[in-house]
Amino acid sequence: MNMINTYCNNLNIIATADSVATDIKNIEEFKPDLVLLDIDMPDGSGFDLLRGLMSINFMAIFVTAYAEHAITAIKFNALDFLQKPLDAEDFLMATNKAVANKANEEQNRKLENLLAEINNPEKLRIALSTSNSIYFVSPGQIIRIESDSNYSMFYLEDGRKVMVCKPLKEYSDLLSDKGFFRSHQSHLVNLSYIKEY
């Protein structure tokens, strides 16, 4: 709360809570635009909170000190998260981005997909956000990714090409344990599609 009061004059705190039950009650009563959601709470997790809501109509920034699998799932879905202890610059960047975007259908789809993946970690899908739509694909559907400056072009097994406004390094880190190899500075390749070298 101190960080919000110090750095975020465009945010108003309407409620705080330290449990899943209280958070659900507050969200349904106050209908916030943005929720800073701690992954680990005394009576459950931030994912339990999302499961307990009738609908999700807000932006969410996840806050965590650990929970590596949860962080991977959040990254796959292109959702914002902040690592404790909080860094003021990262906090300001994440909240400003949320204020600019507001709650929207794309965010809701990402959160719903995240919940499905938390329940089935072996079925992680990656969210590819373009200028006008969002695609959810499993790592196995990606043949390769090619860097184009600060953009990444995804070549999918069904022949589609999807351009995403994120650098290749971000996907290289995310997919390093999913059978992908950085064969060149500009290319990330799914090793399961290689037939000859």
CATH T-level fold of 2-122: Rossmann fold (3.40.50)
pLDDT at site 67: 61
Whether residue 7 is predicted with pLDDT greater than 80 in this model: the reply is no
Per cent of the chain over pLDDT 90 is 28
Instruction: Give 170-194 pLDDT, tens digit per residue.
Output: 888 889 888 999 988 999 999 999 9
- Reported as half-sphere exposure (CB side, CA atoms, 13 A), residue 43 has a value of 10
d(CA 108, CA 110): 5
Q: What average pLDDT does the segment 121-130 reach?
A: 80
Find the helix packing angle between 68-76 and 168-175, rounded to 10°: 140
pLDDT at site 155: 97
Q: What average pLDDT does the segment 166-170 reach?
A: 89
pLDDT at site 27: 93
Cα 37 to chain centroid distance, Å, stands at: 13
Q: Which residue has the higher pLDDT, 41 or 75?
A: 41
CATH code 2.40.50.1020 region(s) in the chain: 125-193
Instruction: Give 110-124 pLDDT, tens digit per residue.
Output: 888 888 777 776 777
Query: May I ask the CATH architecture of the domain 125-193?
Result: Beta Barrel (2.40)
Q: Which residue has the higher pLDDT, 19 or 75?
A: 19
pLDDT at site 134: 83
Residues in the chain: 197
Residue 56 binned pLDDT confidence (cut-offs 50, 70, 90): confident
d(CA 76, CA 78): 6
pLDDT at site 188: 95
CATH code 3.40.50.2300 region(s) in the chain: 2-122
The mean predicted confidence, pLDDT, of the chain is 85
Find the helix packing angle between 105-119 and 68-76, rounded to 10°: 140
